[in-house]
Amino acid sequence: MIQKVRTHPSQNEALLFERSSPGKRAWQLPELDVPAIDAAEALGAANVRAEIPGFPEVSEVEAIRHFTRLSTWNYAIDHGMYPLGSCTMKYNPRINELVARIEGLAWAHPYQPESLAQGAMEVMARLEAALAEITGMDAVTLQPAAGAHGELTGILLIRALLEKRGNPRQKILIPDSAHGTNPATAAIAGYTVENVKSTDAGVLDLEALARAAGSDVAALMVTNPNTLGVFENNIAQAADILHAKGAMLYMDGANMNALVGIARPGDFGVDVMHLNLHKTFSTPHGGGGPGAGPVAVKKALEPFLPTPRLKRMRGKWAWDFNRKRSIGRVRAFYGNFGVLVRALAYILAHGGPGLRNATVDAVLNAVYIRKRLEPFFDLPYPSPNMHEVVFSDDRQAKLGVRTGDLAKRLIDYGFHPYTVSFPMIVHGALMIEPTETESKLELDQFIDAMISIAKEVETDPDLVKHAPHSTRTSRVDEVAAARKPVLRWKPA
Amino acid sequence: MRYLPKSDSERRQMLDACGAASAEDLFAHLPEAVRLRRPLDLAPGISEYEIVDYFRARAAENANGYASFLGAGVYRHYRPVLVDAVVSRGEFLTSYTPYQAEISQGTLTAIFEFQTMICQLTGMDVANASMYDGSTAVPEAAMMAARITSRHRVLAARTVHPEYREVLRTYARHQGMPVEEFGYAKDSGAIDLEDLDRKIDGQTAAVIVQSPNFFGVIDDVKSAAEIAHRHGALLVMVFTEAVSLGILEPPAGADIVAGELQSFAISPSYGGPYAGIVATRDQFVRQMPGRLVGQTADTHGNRAFCLTLSTREQHIRREKATSNICTNQALIALMATVFMTVYGKEGLRQLALQNLAKAHYLAGRLPSVFSGKCFNEFVVRAENPESVNKALLKKKIIGGLPLGRFYPELADSMLVCATEMTRRADMDALHTTLRTPASSEVLA
Amino acid sequence: MYPENFRYSKEHEWVLVEGGIGTIGITDHAQQELGDIVYVDLPKPGTRVEQGRSLGSVESVKAVSDVYAPVSGEVTEINPALADAPEKLNADPHGAAWLVKIRLSAPDELPQLMSAADYQTYIGAEK
């Protein structure tokens, strides 16, 4: 790989291994207050490793410079809007970071005596209660580590209940607009997947559902609003159809940002759902995680929830491990507690009325974007949208420019791209979700950028097709990366 | 509300642009039957100061200022100050998954370095960009072995962390993947190789062992691997104490490594978030779960990084994906990356040696149950572990983990851990309390 | 463009039969639709394949496509060139970048497939 020299050292930062030299160090340990030990004696000579070949050796100054320079190559919410559909890239409140680091919470060991963990347990109990109220469900588990993990938990819960009733059944129905984690999850839970087509309006086809909902169907997994940002108006009827056949309704809560305080899934027939705390509840994405995927259920599924569960005993919190019907654990310990703290801080900051106001602003922002961009981009599904809107690149594709190109050109205007080519039911999709934490100024800048790009497609399509032009790194060769994967650094 | 950057007049302007008379109009298309027509039953929003107060009060209700001898999969190690300095930068904290390579090179480069360091530590050829934690990395590794061998049975050592085995069972239950266990030798605390040999057969996809194991004993992974390979099965090596790799020879004969990185500057944080990894040999890379970052070049020939081999993943392969994982633990992995950078080649070794020295000092004074060589935790005999711990609490010391809840045959034992943060005075106090007959220390 | 002596399937595979052995590949139309090919996943020699069932897959950066057996039989050979150079499939899908050879088990399946002319009509109609 040729490494070209750029003008500023921060743009030309090498890898840690290339900056290392023997003897440089960023660490210092205190003197031992016990006798030192000979490793070979203590472990057996065969068990002692020679050294860690190639591991970095840099000073503290080089370390901080290295990561700081790397950080300047990233876009982030702190820079500007991420219009990514169904990702809900809202502001990550800094107070969350502070409270998660308070020593008594950050250093709590999951096995410390319950009498010395009451604060942590209270935080979890309070969050469970808040999420139950928000979703209109009866019980919540905070164990799952992310949305996909929550989905798996939810489907396993359904399986457990159906097994108890005598037949776990074989199939899960999934709309053709669903997120990829849905079918992948169904497969891990031992179910086969059957797609259900949407109507021309982009919502669940009740007739198709009724036809597909046979006695071998365990559940329908649905996202509401769906991945077009459209509310599934027939969801209550869909629930009825499923329940009449002894099947259940699972809701993927990725789009809850359109519903908090407005409508509750528990009120429209959902039996089990997951939430994404790193979406709706503002916990930071951190470049790809961590998240948390709590699962909320109706009473009938409560006995099957993962073990242990919080219970109140003699005025204190305790962990209840005695749960014979539980599906077991989906992970060690209790959940991504550090993420849970952040989500609770977010809920406390907003409060009930505040959460509803956030939803209203989220929807207002998305509808505003739709209205202002409709003259320029094809809108395949004209139904009212909620917190996100999906256009298609049909108009631009006629001139040879696709959604991926438009997205890359958006980078030159200072924005992160929207979600490209998803959902798959829209050809050449542009999926845009602003969230409520964008100002009118930011939205107008985004809208102006999109309109400008639409015009560029007509006057200078190559400018768009070869974008971005203003970034440190231009388009990367993903083909070479996949053909001959180089997945680690090696010394020359 | 301070996170909603619109004034009422701006809202009004926007509603007008939308042709809506009021905000309620935006929701008019929803069926009335689904509408929540009462306020959420949650207290009104509070100020920053009150939020801090609330969590400080909760923190005060947890242990504060206690010495601790707990390990068992979660370890107290010093967190270098650089770790939070780096991950608190908004460019790392508030960035998204690096799907758009041009504006994510910071995250991608750091992950590439992470993948490299995990390979260097574990002796494997390729490592992924993180799993949720060690406990879920284990079933992911098992499912990977099943795909590779086209077999379905899994044999797990009883010395693998008990909660990890529970998670494995939950995942395996519906995949037609029977999980069986093999035991440990009562004298050494290491795996019972004969038991393994008896139970393994031509349908075993994976043999799963942990080292150092749950009892802290350094296990004979090499021999387990030989038995596994003789029967055409893969050897999955699990680790929960990453610092051990600073001094311990990486697992010889392992085909897949599934591990937990919490020891690398990840706060114990009452159980999460942590970061797991799966690492393996080159030939198995296409069966790996999780995100992978690869090196490539941009259109000007500059070195660049991008997510690659994405066709394994859920967003493309859907129901045939190698895993359903989407969000991983990127920021946590970054903490580990900074930790590994700060300690580096020599520092991690010295850190491991200090852990060894502290544990050795402690073990020298306590009745060990097992004869096997240990790293920084081990099992001690304690006639009544619960009352020993009660006595210790009075001295503001949290004792070891009573093992009866996981191993009924070890109800008279506890698992104790000493790290570089454990003070000699506290180890002496533990020694005194354990040697004193329990009855004289315990008050009802 | 489309060799006369090949037979074509609706899933865009071709087969050339010579003396009971069928050489199978994907069509030029298929490789165009896929874009730059990064990986080819083929079955081991000895594997039995069934007409209409997947025998492997072809991957681009952003998509995976199953390759369906146009006829049934047993795999005798797989193309060794594709492991190191999957891009050959873009360059020469009808020649050097054949995928597998199979010994046909049901030669009467052949007439069900399309001729070159029919296939060209078929892909013309698909657009």
pLDDT, averaged per 10 consecutive residues of chain B (444 residues), comes to 95 97 96 96 97 98 96 98 97 94 96 97 94 95 95 97 97 90 98 98 98 97 97 98 97 93 97 96 93 94 93 73 76 96 97 97 92 96 92 95 97 97 95 69 36
* Residue C1 is assigned to a structural domain of this protein: no
H or E element in which residue B186 lies: none
Q: ipTM score here?
A: 0.96
Q: What are the chain C neighbours of A483 within 8 Å (beta carbons)?
A: 38-39, 86-87
The residue among B195 and C1 whose pLDDT is bigger is B195
pLDDT band for A420, please (50, 70, 90 cuts): very high
CATH number at residue C43: 2.40.50.100
Q: Determine the straight-line distance between the first and last CA of chain B, rounded to whole angstroms.
A: 52
- Which residue of C38, C39, C64 is in closest CB contact with B316? C64
- DSSP letter for B408, please: G
Please give the sequence-ordered ranges of beta strands (E in DSSP) within A393-461, or none if there are none.
Answer: 419-420, 429-432
pLDDT tens digits along A265-316? 999 999 999 999 999 999 999 988 899 999 999 999 999 999 999 999 999 9
- Secondary structure of residue A445 in the 3-state scheme: helix
pLDDT of residue B434: 84
Nearest-CA residue of chain B relative to C41?
B286
Q: Name the residue among C38, C39, C62 with its Cβ closest to that of B316.
A: C62
Chain A residues touching B63 at Cβ < 8 A: 104, 108, 112-113, 116-117
* Closest-CA residue of chain B to A276: B327
Contact residues on chain B for A61, CB-CB shorter than 8 A:
none
Kindly report the average pLDDT of chain A as a whole number.
94
Residue A63 to residue B268, Cβ atoms within 8 A? no
Q: Which of B44, B129, B375 is nearest residue A352 as measured by Cβ atoms?
A: B44
The verdict on residue C127 lying in a domain is no
What pLDDT does residue A112 have? 97
Using alpha carbons, select from B438, B264, B443, B442 the residue that is nearest to residue B339: B264
- How confident is the model at residue B312, as a pLDDT? 79
Q: Using an 8 Å Cβ cutoff, are C59 and C8 in contact? A: no
Q: Are A119 and B62 in contact (CB under 8 A)?
A: yes
The B residues from 259 to 288 touching C (CB cutoff 8 Å) are 286
Q: Is B49 on the interface with A (CB under 8 A)?
A: no
Return the pLDDT at B314. 67
Instruction: Tell me which chain A residue has its CA closest to the CA of residue B63.
Output: A116
| Phi, psi at A91, each rounded to 5° | -55, 140
Identify the closest residue of chain A to B319 by CA–CA distance.
Answer: A184
Residue A423 has a pLDDT of: 87
Nearest to B324 by CA among C34, A308, A293, A281: A293
**Total domains present in chain C:** 1
* Angstroms from B197 CA to nearest CA on chain A: 23
Chains touching chain B, criterion 3+ CB pairs below 8 Å? A, C
Lowest mean pLDDT among A7-16, B391-400, C49-58: A7-16
pLDDT class for C126, splitting at 50, 70, 90?
low
Using a CB-CB distance cutoff of 8 angstroms, which residues of chain A are in contact with residue C31?
none
Chain A: give the shortest CA distance to residue B229, in Å. Answer: 21
Whether C74 is in a domain gets the answer yes
pTM (two decimals): 0.94
Neighbours of A19 (CB within 10 A): 18
Question: Environment class of residue A2 by beta-carbon count within 10 Å: exposed (0-12), middle (13-18) or buried (19+)?
Answer: exposed
Give the integer Cα–Cα distance in Å for B124 and B255. 8
Residue C11 domain flag: yes
- What pLDDT, on the 0 to 100 scale, is given for residue A137? 98
Proportion of chain C above pLDDT 70, given as a percent: 98
The pLDDT of residue A110 is: 98
Residue C2 domain-assigned (yes or no): no
B-chain residue closest to A485, CA distance:
B294
E-strand stretches of A161-303: 171-175, 192-196, 217-223, 248-252, 272-274, 295-297
Residue C83 included in any domain? yes
B307: DSSP letter = E
- Which chain C residues are closer than 8 Å to A478 by Cβ? 61
Asked if A356 lies within 8 A of B39 by C-beta distance, the reply is yes
C-beta atoms of B269 and A338 within 8 A: yes
Give the pLDDT of residue C64: 85
Q: State whether residue A174 is helix, strand or coil.
A: strand
Q: CA nearest A95 in B: which residue?
A: B48
Judged by CB atoms closer than 8 Å, whether chains meet at A77 and B176 is answered as: no
* pLDDT at residue C118 is higher than 60: yes
Q: Which range marks the domain in which residue C84 is found? A: 7-108+116-122
pLDDT of residue B95: 95
Domain-embedded: residue C84 = yes
Beta strand pairing status for A171-175 and A217-223? parallel
Phi, psi of B150 (to 5 degrees): 55, 30
Q: In B, which residues are within 8 Å of C36 by CB distance?
A: none
Residue contact A483–C87, C-beta within 8 A = yes
Predicted local distance difference test score (pLDDT) of residue C71 = 93
CB contact under 8 A, A43 and B247: yes
Contact B55 A60 (CB under 8 A): no
C104-111: average pLDDT: 92
Structure tokens given for A48: 């002692």
One-letter amino acid of C27: T
**CB-based contact (8 Å) between B66 and chain A?**
yes
Helix (H) or strand (E) holding B199: helix B193-199
Question: Does position A65 have pLDDT exceeding 80, yes or no?
Answer: yes
Q: Which of C61, C64, C89, C127 to mutate to test the interface with A (most CBs of A within 10 A)?
A: C61
Q: What does the block give as tokens for B259?
A: 């591990």
**What pLDDT is stored for residue A200 in this prediction?**
87
Instruction: Mark which residues 18-57 of A lie under 8 Å from C by CB.
Output: none
pLDDT at A318 exceeding the cut of 60: yes
Q: Which residue of B has its CA nearest to A30?
A: B420
- Contact criterion met (CB < 8 Å) for B310 and C39: no
Partner-chain contact A482 B105, CB within 8 Å: no
Put simply, the answer to whether B317 touches C61 (Cβ < 8 Å) is no
Q: Which amino acid type is present at position C67?
A: V
Q: Tell whether B38 is within 8 A of chain A (Cβ).
A: no
The pLDDT of residue A336 is above 90: yes
pLDDT at residue number A1: 46
C-alpha A290: how far from chain center: 9
Q: In this predicted model, what pLDDT tens digit does every residue of A203-234 receive, in sequence order?
A: 999 999 999 999 999 999 999 999 999 999 99
Tell me whether residues A482 and C87 touch, CB distance under 8 A: no
Residues in B touching A93 (Cβ below 8 Å): 3
| Per-residue confidence (pLDDT) for residue B440, from 0 to 100 | 44
Cβ–Cβ below 8 Å for A285 and B95: yes
User: Across A144-297, where does the E strand assignment appear?
Assistant: 171-175, 192-196, 217-223, 248-252, 272-274, 295-297
Q: Report the alpha-carbon distance of residue A334 to residue B272 in Å, rounded.
A: 8
Task: State which residue of chain A sits closest to C39, comparing Cα positions.
Answer: A483
**Cα separation, B73 vs B135, whole angstroms:** 10
pLDDT at residue A5 in the model? 54
Q: Verify whether the Cβ–Cβ distance A25 to B323 is below 8 Å.
A: no
CA distance A220 to A211: 13
Q: For chain C, say whether A482 makes contact (Cβ under 8 Å).
A: yes
Cβ atoms of A327 and A304 within 8 Å: the answer is: yes
- pLDDT for B176 equals 87
Nearest to A288 among B85, B267, B328 (CB): B328
